Amino acid sequence: MDKKIEYQKFLELCDYVHREILEYGKDIKFPKHLALRLRGLHKGQFIAQNNSKPLANYDYDTILLTFKICKFDILSKIRQKDNFQHEKHRINYMMVIIEDKINDVVLRIEKNKKAKQKSELIEIYDDNGAEYKTKTKEIKSSIINNLW
């Protein structure tokens, strides 16, 4: 994947999480801890580290879709600010929810792709050459014709 496209998808993900999930405005700085967690999730790690091997490879579209699916669950818990000591705890809690659901989302995406491919492979035969033929015999009788 082109680095610029991947970077744009990462920025789109960061913007969505910043505005929709954390409900921050433009004047609030984007948390560095969240950026590291999102980069780490992309590689299947807890936090982004260059010296360790990636455990998985989730693309940013899948991560964004997971956030959109889990938005209600995340917001219902994160809005209770009394349960968290500071911002890092809220981010970690949010990421635990995403890490639990992301494999299910990946499986759903693959299932949808397979179903779409299967539906494209199905050929529909439309035989316009078929004609209707009656199975009953027409009775030709001069007596019946005289009645009409």
Asked if 106 contacts 58 with a C-beta cutoff of 8 angstroms, the reply is: yes
Q: Has residue 125 got a pLDDT over 70?
A: no
Q: What would the mean pLDDT of 91-110 be, rounded to a whole number?
A: 95
Contact 48, 95 (CB under 8 A): no
The band of 112, judged by pLDDT with boundaries at 50, 70 and 90, is: very high
H/E stretch holding 16: helix 3-16
The pTM for the full model equals 0.77
**pLDDT surpassing 70 at residue 148:** no
**Average pLDDT over the chain, rounded to an integer:** 88
The percentage of the chain sitting over the pLDDT mark of 70, rounded to a whole number, equals 93
